[in-house]
Amino acid sequence: MSALLLLLLSLACMLYPGQAQTCRISSVELIAGEATEAAIVAGLIRLRFTLEVIKARNDPSMDAFAVLYRDGFRSTQTSPQSFYGLRTTILPLDGGAFKALDNSFGGSPTFEVWFQPALGYDILEPERIDVEWVAGGVFLNAVSCYSTMIRWDNVLTINPTNITLTGDTELTEYDIANRVGMTWVLDLTGTTFVGTWGTNEQNMIRDSVNTIGIVNQPRGFVAVRSEIIALANVRRMSDYRLEITLLNTGIYDMTGVDEEVLSVCVPNTLLVNGGFASGCVQVAQHVIIRRTQLLAMPPADMFEGVLKTTGFQVLLQLTNDQFKSQVELDAQLPLVRSGWVSNTLAADQPHGWMASRHALLQAVNVTTNTSVGLSNSGLWVAVAPYAAYDLTSGTEVITVQIPNNLLQGRQGNIGFVHGSFTFTVTATRLLLVGAHLRETELFAGAPPPSVALQLVGDKWKNFTQTNSTNTTDAILAGLQSNGCMASAGGCAGWNMRRSTIIPSPETQVTLSTDGSTVHVALRPDMGFDIVADETLSALIPNKFLVDGGEGGSVLSENTLDITATAAFITSDVDLSDKVLRDGGATIRLNVTGAALVSPFGAAQKALLRAAWVADPAPTQWDTHLNELMPDSVIRQDSDHEIVIGPLPAVSAYDLPPDRPERVTLRLPNVLLHDSCTACATPYVATTIPLRIEPYVPIAANLSGTFIDAPTEAKIRQGGSVIQIQMTGDSWAWMSPTKVSELTAQFTSDASEPRGWNALRSQVITYSSISGDLDAGFLFITLAPAAAYDITQNETVSVILTPALTRSQLYQKDLMVGTFTIVAMSATVTQTQTAEGNFAKEGVEININLIGAHFKPTLTKADLDAVQQGIVATPDFPPDGWNQRRQFILTGVGWWQVIEGGRRLRLLGLGDVGSRFDIVETTTLIVTVPPQVLVEGSPLPILATPNLTIMPSKSTLSASFNMAVASEVSIQQATDILLGTLMTITITVANDRLLAVPFTREQIQNVFDGITSNMDWPNGWNQQ
């Protein structure tokens, strides 16, 4: 309709251009209500429009034009909660929102707009309402209007309901705990608070105060809100003002954040015409509560000497709180100390921070932190020197925190003030500086050896400060090795010879100019002699250090090695008298810690030959040494190696079977550079001898009833025998321990959970052993192991170790042999057949056993188990294999054990009198039950492969005995030409009919299957 009116208006303007007049709204009055959000919600606003030239409609058609009046209203906001968004609610078409005041014919110069209630109205900023109408579409007399549009800007500006928050809006944890009289004032504009003011309303105001974006504050503002805002302290001062007085509480505690920001949203239900009950008016101002924090300049990391001799001070500063008074803090020094904690336990550092904390922390002084502006906001903590403080090694990290109970604003709160700092205390380090030493350097003095002791984090006391002799003696005593401590046994190492190596400490020990390093010059000592490497370390009493304090010692964190001169002899093959008879072996001499003399001539080779020592005497080695080692086979390969070989063949070298020889070498010092001619021991002895074994041919073989045919069944049954015959030696005495050693040498190549390796200690026991051990015969009668069960064959290897022989002269393991245990298994001969074969001649199923036997006679229970062990998948009930197998596998001669128990032949006789039927290929899975086996079995045996049964393709054929089939012959059921009774014969191929007589239902099914291609009302199909 509005489009039509616009068109008419446009035509009118074109027809009467010379009669145009100024049509307008002359005034707009707010005659009821206020320009507030609440007035819109309550529907209290009424507007009166006065017109010039044009007139408002006053006939019944005004309702029809109401939509045009309404659509002329515009708004500066477009949200769903604004005037524009709720325009259809505020100005409904059927609610009398538009009213003409003059009912005379020809229209009214004034009309009113009555706003209707809109509970959903909700604005955050002022909203301006304008109107703009198409004159001809809304008003009368608009044909002569100069302008087609009638508008009035800023008909109304709606102010939102607003609440401001003033008062104590910036607080601290200290304020919450201590201040009295903290107040919040809420001032309301745009409406009034509800008149009824009780506990419910007070509680709603309290609950409207929440934190922004912070969760998991177990003692934050929301958690203790009821302690801070008592209901009685939420007061309605006037229609437009609320006042909240806050209570102080020590329970409040902020954790994990620096401040809490509080937001207030006053529920609409507490405001007159507040809108939807679920809404609220958000207060723009927030309250900020700032956290108490520790500020400090932590001390620099330090060495332990600082704590021993000087100590230090640190200033702890607070923000947003104050320390208790000096008197209170003096009384709470133990609480102060509790905030200074080390990362090491007293047990780990017996003289460290935790053990010394009481002596280190003895005084605190409260001061004013001028940067914060609070009295008592600073605390000077003096860490006093404590000479007994001592770290054994490494570092400890001290963490400093302030317990809450030391603060005025947090009394009663457990835990610590937010913020902490750490500093690290490092133990004084003692380093041994210098190259590793060799034995030859200490007795030859070339090059001149020396050792330096360097301190890190401290300095050596000036020798004149104490007593140079005492200091140097302490250094001498502190340089120790891990070698022998007594002279017994010819010990001549560092600990026994250091007073000779350092005979004049006062001249040999010198201090560096910076006081950090002591240099120790070592003198040659021809009596120094070690047979193994030694490690040199230093342990110096702290009192010889500038900041060493009292008691304790500092241990060097590194060591220096003193490498002993050593000789080693090796052979490229295991030596035996046969090897030496055959020749070709090579012996190598290697020297460490010193160099061999060079050239290595005839004189040196003679000394080398004379250095060999063999036992037990008399020895073949001594007898044939010159033959074994002529000069021609001795050569020097390097400064550290002599090669002897290949050795010539010595045919006369022959050892008795029970007399192996041991050969060692005492290498003369004169064959070494820097040799110690005055040493107590004039040679370097090899510690690992060469062993020359008598060659004894030894052999062993396997036999016995088990070895003849090793099967899984025999192990389960037990009683079979393994025989091992040894030649060239005899068996050791078979104690229970020795039998365990023997059993361990029977190892399988498989590791099945119930196989040989898992159960061999049950198969071979102490009671299993018998035989003539002296003569080399060992019999093992296998014990029954019913749990033995393998899924595939496993091969067992048998090893003869020297420990199992009487003489133990043969030094290598001997492979005796192997045997393969045949796993019980079953196979199915026929793998495929057809469903129809069961209905004809029957199907033969042959189950063959490997490693086991069927019982010759099977009971009914056995046969039932055989039937249940043949399962079809998929199955096709109700006439599939699993339902009909007891009818298929039945009758005389349906089972037969043949081939000495190795085969079970089953004959499926065709399910006579039944109805075996499958619609798809099915698979028979054959499992042999343990009860039908002579040997038994822990588990059924799964036969492979499976037997597949394919469904038969049955066909039907029908024959008729009538020559001519006519309507009459059908009526008479007689062949007209032959005069015989008419019959139909149905023949089934690849299947069979069910046994007769048929039931009535089956007969009906046959009739229903004979159909005509024509469907006459009284024809074949119906009759």
User: 3-class secondary structure for 494-557?
Assistant: HHHHHHHHCCCHHHHEEECCCCCEEEEECCCCCCCECCCCEEEEEEEEHHHECCCCCCCEEEEC
For residue 369, the model assigns a pLDDT of 53
CA angle 49, 51, 53 (to 5 degrees): 170
Backbone angles phi, psi at 550, to 5 degrees: -115, 140
Q: What token pair was written down for 615?
A: 């036992």
For residue 426, the model assigns a pLDDT of 92
Peptide bond into 945 cis (omega under 30): yes
Q: Which of 885, 862, 876, 868 is nearest to 918 (CA)?
A: 876
The residue with greater pLDDT, 995 or 352, is 352
Element (H, E) at 62: helix 61-64
How does pLDDT run across 372-411, given as a tens digit for each residue? 445 677 888 889 999 899 988 889 999 999 998 888 876 6
Backbone angles phi, psi at 363, to 5 degrees: -150, 145
Range of lowest pLDDT (150-159, 549-558, 576-585, 750-759):
549-558
User: What does the pLDDT average to over 674-695?
Assistant: 77
- The alpha helices in 400-521, defined as continuous H runs, are 439-444, 468-478, 494-501, 505-508
pLDDT at 680 over 70: no
Give the pLDDT band (50/70/90) at residue 498: confident
pTM: 0.50
> Who contacts 582 (Cβ-Cβ below 8 Å, separation ≥6)?
649
Distance (Å, whole) CA 896 – CA 900 = 11
How does pLDDT run across 148-162, given as a tens digit for each residue? 899 999 999 999 999
> Who contacts 874 (Cβ-Cβ below 8 Å, separation ≥6)?
920, 922
For residue 646, the model assigns a pLDDT of 95
Encode 250-282: b = buried (16+ Cβ within 10 Å), e = exposed: bebbbeeeebbebbbebbbbbbebbbeeebbbe
Q: Which of 426, 417, 415 is nearest to 379 (CA)?
A: 417
Give the pLDDT band (50/70/90) at residue 491: confident
Q: Which of 508, 449, 511, 447 is nearest to 476 (CA)?
A: 508
For residue 1002, the model assigns a pLDDT of 76
Range of lowest pLDDT (759-763, 812-816, 991-995, 1009-1013):
991-995
Give the pLDDT band (50/70/90) at residue 721: very high
Element (H, E) at 262: strand 259-267
For residue 9, the model assigns a pLDDT of 40
pLDDT at 17 over 60: no
- Percent of the chain whose predicted confidence (pLDDT) is above 70: 88
Range of lowest pLDDT (143-147, 227-231, 463-467):
463-467
Backbone angles phi, psi at 529, to 5 degrees: -155, 120
pLDDT at 465 over 90: no
Q: What token pair was written down for 385?
A: 């020197």
pLDDT at 371 over 50: no
pLDDT at 479 over 60: yes
User: What does the pLDDT average to over 38-50?
Assistant: 94
Q: Tell me the residue ranges of DSSP E strands in 578-686.
A: 587-592, 612-615, 634-638, 641-644, 661-668, 683-685
User: What does the pLDDT average to over 293-306?
Assistant: 88
Q: Do residues 771 and 778 lie in contact, with contact meaning Cβ atoms separated by under 8 Å?
A: yes
How does pLDDT run across 308-347, given as a tens digit for each residue? 889 999 888 888 888 888 888 888 899 999 999 999 888 8
Residue with tokens 């709160």: 413
For residue 144, the model assigns a pLDDT of 80
| Residue 425, strand partner residues | 302, 396
Q: Which of 592, 670, 583 is nearest to 628 (CA)?
A: 583
Reported as half-sphere exposure (CB side, CA atoms, 13 A), residue 668 has a value of 14
Beta strand 361-369 with 374-383: parallel, antiparallel or unpaired? antiparallel
For residue 420, the model assigns a pLDDT of 87
Q: Do residues 884 and 916 lie in contact, with contact meaning Cβ atoms separated by under 8 Å?
A: yes
How does pLDDT run across 804-854, given as a tens digit for each residue? 998 776 667 889 999 999 988 888 888 888 877 776 667 888 899 888 888
Q: Which of 505, 491, 481 is nearest to 563 (CA)?
A: 481
Beta strand 661-668 with 437-438: parallel, antiparallel or unpaired? unpaired
Q: How many residues does the chain have?
A: 1023
SS3 399: strand
**DSSP per-residue codes, 908-958:** E---TTS----SS-EEEEEEE-GGGBSS--SS-EEEESPEEEEPP--EEEE
The residue with greater pLDDT, 189 or 1018, is 189
The single-letter code of the amino acid at 217 is Q
How does pLDDT run across 418-455, given as a tens digit for each residue? 888 999 999 988 888 888 888 777 776 666 788 999 99
Backbone angles phi, psi at 720, to 5 degrees: -70, 160
Q: Do residues 272 and 236 lie in contact, with contact meaning Cβ atoms separated by under 8 Å?
A: no
- Crossing angle of helices 756-763 and 736-744, in 10° steps, is 150
Distance (Å, whole) CA 62 – CA 49 = 15
For residue 114, the model assigns a pLDDT of 92
pLDDT at 911 over 60: no
Distance (Å, whole) CA 84 – CA 89 = 10
Q: Do residues 698 and 728 lie in contact, with contact meaning Cβ atoms separated by under 8 Å?
A: yes
The average confidence (pLDDT) of the chain is: 84
Give the pLDDT band (50/70/90) at residue 6: very low
Give the pLDDT band (50/70/90) at residue 272: very high
- Percent of the chain whose predicted confidence (pLDDT) is above 90: 38
Q: Do residues 135 and 23 lie in contact, with contact meaning Cβ atoms separated by under 8 Å?
A: yes
User: What does the pLDDT average to over 585-591?
Assistant: 93
How does pLDDT run across 739-758, given as a tens digit for each residue? 999 999 999 998 899 999 99
Range of lowest pLDDT (190-204, 457-471, 947-961):
457-471
Output the CA–CA distances (angstroms, integers) from residue 567 to 94, 99, 682, 721, in the order listed: 120, 126, 14, 53
| Residue 820, strand partner residues | 795
Q: Which of 562, 528, 569 is nearest to 686 (CA)?
A: 569
Beta strand 825-828 with 941-944: parallel, antiparallel or unpaired? parallel
User: What does the pLDDT average to over 873-902?
Assistant: 82
Q: Which of 796, 797, 815, 737 is nearest to 769 (CA)?
A: 737
The residue with greater pLDDT, 97 or 979, is 97
Give the pLDDT band (50/70/90) at residue 952: confident
The residue with greater pLDDT, 619 or 917, is 619
> CB atoms < 10 A from the CB of 140, how many?
18
For residue 175, the model assigns a pLDDT of 86
| Residue 588, strand partner residues | 570, 643
User: What does the pLDDT average to over 706-722?
Assistant: 91
Give the pLDDT band (50/70/90) at residue 912: very low
User: What does the pLDDT average to over 1004-1018?
Assistant: 77
How does pLDDT run across 93-103, given as a tens digit for each residue? 876 788 877 76
Give the pLDDT band (50/70/90) at residue 486: low
pLDDT at 990 over 60: no
> Who contacts 669 (Cβ-Cβ below 8 Å, separation ≥6)?
675, 676, 677, 679, 682, 683, 684
Residue with tokens 């409609």: 57
Range of lowest pLDDT (145-149, 224-228, 373-377, 783-787):
373-377
Give the pLDDT band (50/70/90) at residue 678: low
Q: Do residues 533 and 563 lie in contact, with contact meaning Cβ atoms separated by under 8 Å?
A: yes
> CB atoms < 10 A from the CB of 629, how many?
19
For residue 977, the model assigns a pLDDT of 47
